[in-house]
A and B are shown apart, each in its own frame.
Chain A
Amino acid sequence: MSSVPMLEITGLHVVFGGLHAINDLDFTVDEGEIVAVIGPNGAGKTTFFNAISGMVKPTEGQIAFEGRSLLGLDPNKITSRGIARTFQNVRLFANMTVLENVMVSQHCRTGQRMVDALLQTRRFRTEEEQVRARGKEVLGFFGTRLTGYRFDQPASVLSYANRRRLEIARAMATSPKLILLDEPVAGMNPVESAELTGLIGKLRDEMGYTIVLIEHDMSVVRDISDRVVVLDHGEAIARGTYAEVSANPQVIEAYLGQSAKGS
Chain B
Amino acid sequence: MTVTGDFPTTQGTSADAASRRRLLDQDWQKLVRAGGILALGQVFIALSGMPVNFDRRLLIDPILSLGYLSLIWLPLVVSYWVGREQVLEGMTAYARGGRDVLAGAIAGALGNAGLTLLVVGITHFDIRDPLVNWSPQLLAILHFEESVWLGAVIWPVIGAATGALGGGMHCASTRITRTAVIAGLTVFGAAVLESVITDLSQGFHIEAVSDWLYGPKRGLTYPAAIVVAVAAIAVMAGIWAYRDSAMRAGLVGSRQSPAAPGESDRSRTVWRRFISRRLLGYALVIAAVVVLPLFLGRLTNELLANVGLFILLALGLNIIVGLAGILDLGYVAFFAVGGYSVAVLTSPGSPRFSPEMPWFGALFIAMLLAGLVGLFIGAPVIRMRGDYLAVVTLGFGEIIRILLLSDWLSGTFNGAQGITNIPGVEVFGLATVRGFEPRSVLYLVLFFCAIAIYVSWRLENSRIGRAWMAVREDETVAEVMGVDTVSAKLMAFVTGAVLGSFSGAILSAKVGSVFPHSFAIIVSIVILVVVIFGGMGNIPGVIAGAVVLIGVLGGPNQPGLLQEFAEYKILIYGALLVWMMLQRSEGLIPSVRRAQELHIDEMNQDAWLRAQAEADDATGGGGGNSSVGEQP
Instruction: List residues of A whose CB falls within 8 A of some B CB.
Output: 53-55, 74-76, 79-80, 84-85, 87, 91, 93-97, 100, 103-110, 112, 114, 116-118, 120, 124, 127-128, 131, 145, 148-149, 152-154, 156-162, 170, 174, 192
Q: Tell me the complex Cα distance, A77–B465, Å.
A: 20
Chain A CB within 8 A of B60 CB: no
Find out whether the CB atom of A162 lies under 8 angstroms from the CB atom of B632: yes
Instruction: List residues of B whose CB falls within 8 A of some A CB.
Output: 258-259, 261, 454-455, 458-459, 461-467, 469-470, 472-474, 476-485, 491, 495, 593-594, 596-598, 627, 629-632
Q: Tell me the complex Cα distance, A27–B256, Å.
A: 52
Return 10 A-B CB contacts under 8 Å, by A number: A94-B597, A95-B597, A100-B469, A104-B483, A107-B483, A107-B484, A108-B484, A116-B462, A117-B465, A145-B632
A94 with B632: in contact, given A76-B485, A149-B258, A157-B596 (CB under 8 Å)?
no
Min CB gap A210→B, angstroms = 18
Pick from B461, B481, B597, B627: contact of A170, CB under 8 Å: B481
User: A76 contacts which chain B residues (CB < 8 A)?
Assistant: 479-485
Q: Tell me the complex Cα distance, A63–B594, Å.
A: 40
Min CB gap A123→B, angstroms = 11
Min CB gap A150→B, angstroms = 9
Find out whether the CB atom of A159 lies under 8 angstroms from the CB atom of B629: yes
Q: Tell me the complex Cα distance, A153–B347, Å.
A: 53
Pick from A53, A74, A112: contact of B463, CB under 8 Å: A112
Find out whether the CB atom of A95 lies under 8 angstroms from the CB atom of B483: no
A91 with B477: in contact, given A104-B466, A105-B482 (CB under 8 Å)?
yes
User: B455 contacts which chain A residues (CB < 8 A)?
Assistant: 118
Min CB gap B476→A, angstroms = 7
A85 with B466: in contact, given A149-B258, A159-B630, A160-B627 (CB under 8 Å)?
no
Closest CB pairs A-B (n = 7):
A108-B482, A117-B462, A79-B482, A93-B473, A104-B466, A105-B481, A149-B258
Q: Tell me the complex Cα distance, A109–B473, Å.
A: 21
Min CB gap A46→B, angstroms = 13
Find out whether the CB atom of A157 lies under 8 angstroms from the CB atom of B630: yes
A79 with B480: in contact, given A104-B466, A112-B462 (CB under 8 Å)?
yes
User: B631 contacts which chain A residues (CB < 8 A)?
Assistant: 159
Find out whether the CB atom of A148 lies under 8 angstroms from the CB atom of B261: yes
Closest to A127 in B: B463
User: A96 contacts which chain B residues (CB < 8 A)?
Assistant: 466, 469-470, 473, 593
A104 with B476: in contact, given A95-B593, A156-B598, A159-B631 (CB under 8 Å)?
no
Q: Tell me the complex Cα distance, A95–B472, Å.
A: 9
Find out whether the CB atom of A74 lies under 8 angstroms from the CB atom of B458: no
Q: Tell me the complex Cα distance, A118–B462, Å.
A: 9
Min CB gap A162→B, angstroms = 7
User: B479 contacts which chain A residues (CB < 8 A)?
Assistant: 74-76
User: B485 contacts which chain A residues (CB < 8 A)?
Assistant: 76
The residue in A76, A131, A153, A156 that gathers the most chain B C-beta atoms within 10 A of its C-beta is: A76
Q: Tell me the complex Cα distance, A84–B455, Å.
A: 32
Closest to B264 in A: A148
Q: Tell me the complex Cα distance, A53–B484, Å.
A: 14
Pick from B458, B482, B630: contact of A174, CB under 8 Å: B482
Closest to B602 in A: A157
Find out whether the CB atom of B463 lies under 8 angstroms from the CB atom of A93: no
User: B478 contacts which chain A residues (CB < 8 A)?
Assistant: 93, 104
